[in-house]
Structure 1
Amino acid sequence: MRKRSAPASPWFAFVLLLLGTAGCAALWIMLATATGRQSSWMAVVAALDAALLLRMARVPAGAARALWGVLAAAVTILLANWFIAAAHLGKMFGLLPWASALKLGAGHAWTLSRLANDPVEIAWLGAGLVIAAVASR
């Protein structure tokens, strides 16, 4: 008979998910700035990463874990799009991406992201959220 391991601390799961989200967003931002493309397919990678981290943290299966997976993927998508827009804008003004991100307003970031993401990119972002829900449950 297989013995089930006890769930880890909720704080451990939260910190692990936070670090994974930041790392995946950083990778996405570097890829997008290196290629000059949005690389929205990384939303699927972010979704799978969130699902894997939630399972590694032994978060109990169910709707709550699926919600945490979708939330982590959505935060990764938002962070990546914000910093990609900031990196491109900051490049024109001679600012580092994180300096530009602090000066970028929400309305301006939203406009730049809408202009940069065509329907195919939006489909990748949506697919990432759906995959996060399914893979995390």
Structure 2
Amino acid sequence: MDLDRASSELNEKLSAIGGTANVAVLKSVVTQASSAIPVMPLYIAMVFKKMREEGVHEGCMEQIYRMFSQRLYKADGTAPEVDDQNRLRLDDWELRDDIQQHCRDLWPQITSENLKELTDYQEYKDEFLSLFGFGIEGIDYEADVNPNVAFDVIDI
């Protein structure tokens, strides 16, 4: 993978000044790209619900905070924990055996009728809509709007 190659080259260059470079592997997140991957929305809705039940779900900001506070800049000053390819693994909670087994067991049970009951489908939908500025409380999306808005163009 090119990221691993680049990280390795950067490590060689940075070693002279005590620096390092790592690839970070993060958990599944709701993005425009992930929504276009077949089955990812269903998987994310399943895994997020189980992670919430287990108390290990985190949003993007919480995950990056954990990367800095518990991986890169640990309170005890020890080196970051990395896998055998020198990667920082923040998908560890998502990939826990119990969480993945739950998803494998649940997958064949999900139907259109029980989707909202067995998964966090609504949460997934809300996160997806918010990516594009929709689903904001207090906005009347049914209201007529004037698409012609007068404004001064400023040359930069």
TM-score range, shorter chain: under 0.3
Higher relative contact order (CA 8 A, sep 6+): 1
Question: Please, what TM-score do these two structures have when normalized by structure 2?
Answer: 0.23
Larger of the two Rg values belongs to structure: 2
Higher helix share: 1
